[in-house]
Amino acid sequence: MSDSRVWFPGNPWADDGHAVKTFNWTAETFEGDVWFLFRLETENYNVEEASKPVSSGEASSSSWEQPEAWEKFDRSLLNSEDGFCVGPLDDYDADDLDGRTFAVDPLPLEEGWEPEDLIFQSYILGHDSVADHRITLTSRLDSDNFDIDWTCKVALTYSGETEFRHGFHATIKDIAAPAPKPMEVPID
């Protein structure tokens, strides 16, 4: 995962981003459809000392901009426990994934949404919410693997915010498309 990175525009590491520690991509089948499940975890926010930000000492109105807030929560995790539907199993072919973009939990969300209603659960600055995902798969020229470009919006629901004001961008490099297998636990 050495070339894979995550950026949170506007955070103290916005320029350099954060290294991806693990990324798991699985495909499961349920009732004739293929579902993709992602689990992404970053290294600790401040693990790369060369890129460690220096606090300006000025008070910031947003924890998003404060290095101390990020260091308190160590790392980020995004996980789609039940996954998102890719399409019918009968039509599924990994070779056809090149250039496909999947939109997951598009904004605006339905009135009265709750964080647990979203496909992806997240831990960024606490248990926050992520929506409006755009996940693009691109075939690599040098292998059968893919690069993934993933963006979404973040609401700091852990600290009481409900507006998706912040961004997330990940690039996952050189990962194999999984073969679908039967889902172990049915989707609710």
* Number of separate domains in the chain: 1
Q: Is 80 among the domain residues?
A: yes
Q: Is 188 among the domain residues?
A: no
Average pLDDT over residues 8-12: 93
Q: Is 148 among the domain residues?
A: yes
Q: Is 55 among the domain residues?
A: no
96-153 pLDDT, tens per residue?
A: 999 999 999 999 999 999 999 999 999 999 999 999 999 999 999 888 899 999 999 9
Q: Is 56 among the domain residues?
A: no
d(CA 51, CA 69): 16
Residue range of the domain that includes 32 = 5-50+61-182
Top pLDDT among 19 and 183 is at 19
Q: Is 109 among the domain residues?
A: yes
Top pLDDT among 91 and 1 is at 91
Q: Is 187 among the domain residues?
A: no
59-83 pLDDT, tens per residue?
A: 556 789 998 899 899 999 999 988 9
